Amino acid sequence: MYEFGYPICIEGEGACPPEDVGGIGGYEEFLEVINDPNHEDYEGFLTWAKEQGYKESWDIKWTNTLMKQCLKLKKIKVDK
Protein backbone atom coordinates (compact mmCIF):
# COMPACT_ATOMS: atom_id res chain seq x y z
CA MET A 1 0.00 0.00 0.00
CA TYR A 2 1.24 3.49 -0.78
CA GLU A 3 2.33 5.62 2.17
CA PHE A 4 0.02 8.48 1.16
CA GLY A 5 -2.80 6.44 -0.41
CA TYR A 6 -1.61 7.32 -3.90
CA PRO A 7 1.64 6.94 -5.87
CA ILE A 8 4.19 9.76 -5.86
CA CYS A 9 7.10 10.55 -8.12
CA ILE A 10 10.35 10.89 -6.19
CA GLU A 11 12.75 11.69 -9.02
CA GLY A 12 12.87 12.55 -12.70
CA GLU A 13 14.29 14.91 -15.29
CA GLY A 14 13.58 16.37 -18.68
CA ALA A 15 10.33 17.14 -20.40
CA CYS A 16 8.37 14.74 -22.56
CA PRO A 17 8.66 14.99 -26.35
CA PRO A 18 6.26 17.34 -28.13
CA GLU A 19 3.38 15.77 -30.07
CA ASP A 20 4.20 14.63 -33.60
CA VAL A 21 7.94 15.05 -33.14
CA GLY A 22 8.57 12.13 -35.49
CA GLY A 23 9.50 9.19 -33.28
CA ILE A 24 12.88 8.52 -31.74
CA GLY A 25 14.87 9.95 -34.65
CA GLY A 26 12.74 13.08 -34.78
CA TYR A 27 13.10 13.59 -31.03
CA GLU A 28 16.89 13.22 -31.24
CA GLU A 29 16.99 15.85 -33.99
CA PHE A 30 14.63 18.09 -32.00
CA LEU A 31 16.86 17.90 -28.90
CA GLU A 32 19.98 18.62 -30.96
CA VAL A 33 18.41 21.75 -32.49
CA ILE A 34 16.59 23.01 -29.39
CA ASN A 35 19.78 22.79 -27.32
CA ASP A 36 21.78 24.88 -29.80
CA PRO A 37 20.54 28.49 -30.02
CA ASN A 38 22.99 29.03 -32.90
CA HIS A 39 21.43 26.27 -35.04
CA GLU A 40 19.75 27.65 -38.16
CA ASP A 41 16.47 25.85 -37.32
CA TYR A 42 16.43 26.80 -33.62
CA GLU A 43 13.79 29.58 -33.79
CA GLY A 44 11.49 27.52 -36.00
CA PHE A 45 11.73 24.44 -33.77
CA LEU A 46 11.19 26.54 -30.65
CA THR A 47 8.08 28.22 -32.09
CA TRP A 48 6.69 24.86 -33.25
CA ALA A 49 7.42 23.22 -29.89
CA LYS A 50 5.64 25.96 -27.94
CA GLU A 51 2.63 25.62 -30.25
CA GLN A 52 2.60 21.91 -29.33
CA GLY A 53 2.56 22.77 -25.61
CA TYR A 54 6.18 21.74 -25.07
CA LYS A 55 7.72 22.84 -21.79
CA GLU A 56 11.48 22.95 -21.45
CA SER A 57 11.47 21.72 -17.88
CA TRP A 58 9.66 19.13 -15.81
CA ASP A 59 7.84 20.00 -12.60
CA ILE A 60 7.79 17.24 -9.98
CA LYS A 61 5.27 19.12 -7.80
CA TRP A 62 2.83 19.43 -10.71
CA THR A 63 3.32 15.74 -11.55
CA ASN A 64 2.59 14.67 -7.97
CA THR A 65 -0.44 16.95 -7.74
CA LEU A 66 -1.81 15.48 -10.95
CA MET A 67 -1.18 11.91 -9.79
CA LYS A 68 -2.83 12.64 -6.44
CA GLN A 69 -5.93 13.98 -8.17
CA CYS A 70 -6.18 11.21 -10.74
CA LEU A 71 -4.93 8.16 -8.87
CA LYS A 72 -6.22 8.53 -5.32
CA LEU A 73 -6.93 5.06 -4.00
CA LYS A 74 -9.97 4.39 -1.91
CA LYS A 75 -9.98 1.91 0.91
CA ILE A 76 -12.52 -0.76 0.23
CA LYS A 77 -14.33 -2.41 3.10
CA VAL A 78 -14.17 -6.15 2.66
CA ASP A 79 -16.78 -8.33 4.34
CA LYS A 80 -15.23 -11.39 5.91
For residues 62 and 12, what is the distance between their CA atoms, to the nearest angstrom?
12
Q: Within this chain, do residues 39 and 24 fall inside the same structural domain, yes or no?
A: yes
The contacts of residue 36 (CB under 8 Å, 6+ apart) are 42
Q: How many residues are present in the chain?
A: 80
pLDDT tens for the chain, residues 1 to 80: 556 667 788 888 777 888 889 999 999 999 999 999 999 999 999 999 989 888 777 788 988 888 888 876 655 555 65
Q: Within this chain, do residues 32 and 44 fall inside the same structural domain, yes or no?
A: yes
Residue of 69, 58, 76 lying closest to 4 (CA atoms): 69
For residue 43, the enclosing domain spans 17-57
Within the chain, residue ranges assigned H as helices are 23-34, 42-51, 60-71
If one counts the domains in the chain, the total is 2
